[in-house]
């Protein structure tokens, strides 16, 4: 087993190199601050902007990463989410301030290196751009923005200010996904020629998010921040102008992987969807989406199906890449991962001995032989697995990659260019549903 240790402490040798260089007046990276404090320590001063569900997930992952000092939290829900995050960080010994308005935070907190933006999608562009203008590096949750105009503003601000921006497609830093892309697909070519992809995120029926009635945000505050009422504040994903519905919320993670693993964005998309189950008055975006992308890769055409449904959770979420030699099912949820050899493909023994995949047990092989009772039946081949043991919180490696890139010791796994490319592909699905026809992408529209 390759044990993936995502602990990113700068080791002693590199630490000495870093401090010696700083002493000699050499700046190793444009992103290493030149003031005395940060050049001799690894500490990064961080603010959390948006302390809701995902903000708290990211905060908890950061608490497992050494040398991250939270200096501020900011959230308009002062009496609930903001208070929770503030109290927890205090408990962990962070010396920090709490704010409702991020502009006040930027005006008062002069010691920040970076901000983590986990507000609703329609706030991302404004928050990310203003934070960059204030000199901060930004970890911005996906979807980069609910509009392409917003996403473009983030790309342009990153180029203008030279700040680093990591977009929160955290699978880009997940050791299982990195192993599959680098070793299994690119180097070993284990799947052969990839022809088809099938992916999904299926969820059961869920009631709308509620809130403790005595903790409601005053209407005047809600309106100041773009929400009509508390229901909209809690369920912003479903509203046009605020989020993008499940295809953007969930699909963006996986459609991002399609382009990554195929080394190219799609050339067209066709999609069917609607608000079929929920009340369209409060669920403006489609609750059911079935989409098919077409890709032109160096090896030929790939057709990629993706669905997100919100009425049944059958088989959860995964992506399956199918080639003429084998199939890979991958998911952030480790239990779903498996690699399957086509019976006609050459033996995989060498890839097993090189540690690319782990062979199925003898028991699993026997089950396969027994199962073939009729020549017409197609039986799933026994499952190879991946040689990686990854037990960290899902978002930790992506955050570490961001922090280490600020320190000049790593390169961002999901910079704005990638986030933008994915936003173009994903936002187009909603357009294709509305247009009721295939929409072609112009190659240039993926780049700014």
Ligand X SMILES: NC(=O)c1ccc[n+]([C@@H]2O[C@H](COP(=O)([O-])OP(=O)(O)OC[C@H]3O[C@@H](n4cnc5c(N)ncnc54)[C@H](O)[C@@H]3O)[C@@H](O)[C@H]2O)c1
**What does the angle CA 42 – CA 45 – CA 47 come to, to the nearest 5 degrees?**
145
Are the CB atoms for 205 and 310 separated by under 8 Å?
Answer: yes
Compute the least distance from the CB of residue 9 to ligand X, in Å: 24
Distance, CA of 305 to CA of 303 (rounded, Å): 7
- Pseudo-torsion of CA 162, 129, 48, 117, nearest 10°? -100
Instruction: Using the rule CB under 6 A, give the single segment among 28-36, 140-148, 259-267, 406-414 that binds ligand X.
Output: 140-148
Phi, psi (degrees; rounded to nearest 5) at 165: -130, 120
Q: Which of residues 95-124 bind ligand X (CB under 6 A)?
A: 102, 118-121, 123
- Contact flag: residue 142 with ligand X (CB under 6 A): yes
User: Could you tell me which stretch among 45-53, 298-306, 368-376, 411-419 binds ligand X (CB under 6 A)?
Assistant: 45-53
With b meaning 16 or more CB within 10 Å and e meaning fewer, what string describes 113-128?
A: bbbbbbbbbbbbbbbb
- Determine if 156 is a binding residue for ligand X (CB under 6 A): no
Under the criterion CB under 6 A, does residue 421 sit at the interface with ligand X?
Answer: no
315: left (phi > 0), else alpha (psi -120 to 50), else beta? left
Report the DSSP pairing between strands 2-3 and 388-389: parallel
Selected binder of ligand X within 113, 249, 319, 400 (CB under 6 A): 249
Hey, which residues between 64 and 93 contact ligand X (CB under 6 A)? 74-77, 81
Cis previous bond, 62, omega within 30: no
- Rounded CA separation 98/74 (Å): 6
Question: For 295, which DSSP code?
Answer: E
User: Which is closer to ligand X, CB of 142 or CB of 383?
Assistant: 142
Q: Which of residues 10-39 bind ligand X (CB under 6 A)?
A: none
**Shortest reach from residue 305's CB to ligand X, in Å:** 22
Q: Which of 47, 50, 238, 259 binds ligand X (CB under 6 A)?
A: 50
Q: How far is the CB of 411 from ligand X (least distance, A)?
A: 20
Q: Which is nearer to ligand X, 237 or 383 (CB)?
A: 237
Nearer to ligand X, 98 or 356 (CB): 98
Q: ∠ at Cα 297 (437, 254), nearest 5°?
A: 65
Nearer to ligand X, 143 or 319 (CB): 143
Q: Where are the beta strands (DSSP E) in 78-163?
A: 97-99, 114-117, 137-140
Minimum gap (Å) between residue 298 Cβ and ligand X: 30
Closest residue to ligand X using C-beta atoms: 52
Least separation in angstroms between residue 126's CB and ligand X is 8
Count of chain residues binding ligand X (CB under 6 A)? 25
CA-closest candidate to residue 429, choices 197, 254, 208, 170: 254
We find the least distance from the C-beta atom of residue 210 to ligand X, in angstroms, to be 12
Q: Does 51 bind ligand X (CB under 6 A)?
A: yes
Which residues are paired to 388 by β-bridges?
A: 2
Q: What would the x/- binding string for ligand X be over residues 287 to 326, using CB under 6 A?
A: ----------------------------------------
Site of interaction with ligand X (CB under 6 A)? 49-55, 74-77, 81, 102, 118-121, 123, 141-143, 168, 170, 225, 249
């Amino acid at each position: 087993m390759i044990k993936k240790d995502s602990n990113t402490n700068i080791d002693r040798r590199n630490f000495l190199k870093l401090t010696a260089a700083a002493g000699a007046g050499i700046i190793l990276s444009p992103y290493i601050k030149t003031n005395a404090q940060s050049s001799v320590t690894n500490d990064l001063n961080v603010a959390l902007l948006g302390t809701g569900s995902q903000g708290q997930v990211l905060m908890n992952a950061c608490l497992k990463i050494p040398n991250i000092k939270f200096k501020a939290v900011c959230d308009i829900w002062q009496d609930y989410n903001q208070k929770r995050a503030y109290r927890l960080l205090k408990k962990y010994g962070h010396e920090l301030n709490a704010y409702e308005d991020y502009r006040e935070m930027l005006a008062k907190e002069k010691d920040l290196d970076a901000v983590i933006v986990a507000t609703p999608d329609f706030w991302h562009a404004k928050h990310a751009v203003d934070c960059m203008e204030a000199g901060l590096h930004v970890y911005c949750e996906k979807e980069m923005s609910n509009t392409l105009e917003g996403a473009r503003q983030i790309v342009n601000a990153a180029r203008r200010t030279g700040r680093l921006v990591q977009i929160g497609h955290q699978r880009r830093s997940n050791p299982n996904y990195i192993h599959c892309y680098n070793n299994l697909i690119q180097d070993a070519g284990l799947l052969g020629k990839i022809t088809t992809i099938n992916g999904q995120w299926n969820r059961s029926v869920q009631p709308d998010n509620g809130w403790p009635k005595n903790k409601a945000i005053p209407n005047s505050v809600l309106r100041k921040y773009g929400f009509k009422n508390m229901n909209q504040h809690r369920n912003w994903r479903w509203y046009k102008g605020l989020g993008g519905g499940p295809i953007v919320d969930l699909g963006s993670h996986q459609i991002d992987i399609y382009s990554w693993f195929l080394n190219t964005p799609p050339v067209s998309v066709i999609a069917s969807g609607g608000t079929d189950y929920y009340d369209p008055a409060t669920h403006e975006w489609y609750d059911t989406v079935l989409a098919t992308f077409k890709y032109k890769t160096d090896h030929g055409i790939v057709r990629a199906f993706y669905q997100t449904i919100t009425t049944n959770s059958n088989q959860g979420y995964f992506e399956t890449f199918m080639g003429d030699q084998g199939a890979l099912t991958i998911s952030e949820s480790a239990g779903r991962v498996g690699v399957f050899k086509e019976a006609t493909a050459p033996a995989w023994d060498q890839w097993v001995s090189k540690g690319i995949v782990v062979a199925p047990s003898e028991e699993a092989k026997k089950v396969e032989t027994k199962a073939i009772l009729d020549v017409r039946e197609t039986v799933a081949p026994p499952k190879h697995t991946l040689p990686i043991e990854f037990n960290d919180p899902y978002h930790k490696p992506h955050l570490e990659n961001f922090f280490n890139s600020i320190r000049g010791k790593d390169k961002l796994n999901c910079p704005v260019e990638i986030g933008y490319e994915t936003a173009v592909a994903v936002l187009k699905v909603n357009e294709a549903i509305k247009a009721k026809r295939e929409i072609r992408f112009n190659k240039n529209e993926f780049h700014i």
